[in-house]
Structure 1
Amino acid sequence: MTQQKLEKKPISFSNILLGAGLNLAEVTTLGQPLEVIKTTMAANRSLSLLQSAKLVWSRGGLFGFYQGLIPWAWIEASTKGAVLLFVSAEAEYQFKKVGASNFVSGIGGGIVGGVAQAYLTMGFCTCMKTVEITRSKQAAVEGAVQQTSLQVFKDIYKKEGIKGINKGVNAVAIRQMTNWGSRFGFSRLAEDLIKKATGKKEDDKLGALEKIAASAIGGGLSAWNQPIEVVRVEMQSKTNDPNRPKNLSVVGAAKYIYQHNGLSGLYRGVAPRIGLGIWQTIFMVGFGDMARQAVAKLTGETPVAKH
């Protein structure tokens, strides 16, 4: 049997635009509300899902669920999507070039893309979103004014510099590399199982609903790394706790959470996290194929595809 020649698809502007557009759509729909509930539960580990939702609602009704969306989530979404598709496609090609299987190449591409996301675009954005969601209201003192996002940003930068703005970026990197490595890897496994169940050949394409189902499975299973997310939130949180050590590292934050909340504390917020993982993966993997076709018709070029 003749081995298919491995060709590298050209990197195009539409590929970068598509990644940014998909992430903006994802975060503006269900993405940010799920992120807010997940972060609230991770920061306030005694609260249930319903209690966390009520707390978020008390901070501004429906708008409370979109806290941190503008500008931080939009800045993050518009940059991290482009970075993910750009870097992960290149990394996957390099893995295939040295003989790795599609499954291993998918995991490798997801890991490299996730790490690039964290250090290039996500560090300060996740920090500011978490600050917005977790900071306590100003003391009920007459004349006290609630700080805006930019005022909080300036205060952190003035006190702690660039390190303060990027606090927790190492935990973000660990989360993203495990996130997208798992999502792409599990999605590929799910696609293979769906093909076998429906009698499709290895080179056959999945239908839209089959692609979405595989993406949902991949996104849901990727929530196994929720302890990393709880650690990240704790490192970036502005919740007042005089007993919490200052300048927590990844390991130090994990120990602090375990000592005060046990093993279950490390899995707080896993339910909305599963929902968020499914929603994000459906957008970036499932809807990605449909969007690529639409972009190709508009621009005359097909963006680099991972699936």
Structure 2
Amino acid sequence: MEQHCPGCSHPTFEVSTLGQPFEVVKTHMAANRADSIATTLKKTYARGGISGFYQGLIPWAWIEASTKGGVLMFTSSEIDYRARLGGLFGGVGGGVAQAYTTMGFCTFMKTVEVTRHNTWKIAYDVFQREGIRGLNRGVSAVALRQMTNWGSRFGIARVTESVFRGKDTNRKLTNTERLASSAIGGALACWNHPSRSFASKCKQWSDGFYRGVTPRIGLSVYLTVCMVFGGDSVKAYFNESQKKKAASVHA
């Protein structure tokens, strides 16, 4: 069976660098739909300086990121190994698994911290009224979003890799080609952005549907590069290490 990267720390690196600032800007714009990117940046900086762009990082974004590595990547790798359309179905399966484990709760906590700030009081009030189900309310919608997000990211990235290979299906891609494939997969995966705002903005067509899509594209590109390109690189490293160990044993 294919070797999996232990720990998969690249999602934590992603969210601790540019990932969380993109997430904070995207979440603010979703909650304050009249604010432009410039206004969002000013308000976020005024709220806490540079640290304002990292609200919700510890522990919620770290918990979510670790499940991307531990749950999403493991599940997607297993499906990728066993299915012909592994990129697409791997992303779908991994996204669903991650959503139902921790992402529903983490999404609630991060959103409250960025938009309302009194995170623990609101979480306690919701828990008192509705229990764990209240904190995870909407998790099925999150799972559906993750299905389309990660199915698209992995699927489009793998298709792009096939386009780069052309007729030579066994050719090893260059790092530039792999990076480009991940970036294209991340950007085009944002096709589902209108579904996030359909219910509340159905009367305000293009602007309403695509509010916040710019920071989301930035987040998606960076996240997909870290998860697909970074994940493949780490798995290749450990696979190569295993091969060297096996060769030394038989030598």
TM-score (normalised: structure 1): 0.74
Distance, in Å, in 1 between the alignment partners of 2:213 and 2:127 is 31
Within the alignment, does 1:132 sit opposite 2:113 as a pair? yes
Question: What corresponds to 1:168 in structure 2?
Answer: 138
Which residue matches 1:271?
214
Aligned to 1:80: 68
Larger-gyration structure (1/2): 1
Counterpart residue identity of residue 120, structure 2:
L
Question: How many residues are aligned here?
Answer: 244
Matched residue, 2:10 = 22
Q: Are 2:91 and 1:110 equivalent residues in the alignment?
A: yes
Query: Structure 1 residue 55 and structure 2 residue 43: aligned?
Result: yes
CA 1:205–1:112 in structure 2 vs 1: closer, same or farther (change >3 Å)?
same
1:90 aligns with 2:78: yes
List per-residue Cα deviations over 1:24-72 (Å, max 9, x = no partner). Answer: 0000000000000011111111111111111111210111100110110
| Residues in 2 aligned to 1:255 and 1:274: alpha-carbon distance in whole angstroms | 21
> Aligned to 2:86, what secondary structure does the other structure show?
helix
Q: Where in structure 2 are the equivalents of 1:169-248 lying within 5 Å? A: 169-196=139-166, 201-228=168-195, 230-231=196-197
Structure that is richer in helix per residue:
2
Deviation by residue 1:223-270 (Cα, 9 ceiling, x = unmatched): 111133x35xxxxxxxxxxxxxxxxxxxxxx433324x4442222110
Superposition deviation, residue 293 in structure 1? 4.2
Q: Structure 2: give runs of 5+ residues left out of the alignment.
A: 245-251
Aligned-pair identity (%): 50
Amino acid at match of 1:128: M
Q: Distance in 2 between matches of 1:176 and 1:283?
A: 17
2: distance between equivalents of 1:92 and 1:274? 25
Given that residues 114 and 180 in structure 1 are in contact (C-alpha distance below 8 angstroms), is that contact kept between their aligned partners in structure 2? yes
Aligned amino acid, residue 84 of structure 1:
L
**Per the alignment, do residues 282 and 57 of structure 1 end up closer, same or farther by CA in structure 2, a change over 3 Å counting?**
same
- CA RMSD between the two structures: 2.1
Structure 2 vs 1, CA of residues 201 and 164 (structure 1 numbering), >3 Å: closer, same or farther? same
**Match for 2:215: what amino acid?**
P
Q: CA deviation at 1:296?
A: 5.1
Cα deviations by residue, 1:109-166 (Å, 9 ceiling, x for unpaired): 111111111111211001100111111x6xxxxxxxxx3x434432321222112211
**1:153 aligns to 2:123 (yes or no):** yes
Shift of 1:209: 1.5
Letter in structure 2 aligned against 1:48 = S
Deviation, 1:301, is 7.1
Aligned: 1:285 with 2:225? no
TM-score where L is the length of structure 2: 0.89
Match of 2:193, SS? Answer: helix
- 85-94 or 184-193: which moved more? 85-94
Contact map agreement 1:16 1:83 (CA 8 A) in 2: no
In structure 1, C-alpha distance between the alignment counterparts of 2:159 and 2:64, rounded to whole Å:
29
- From 9, 22, 26, the counterpart of 1:38: 26
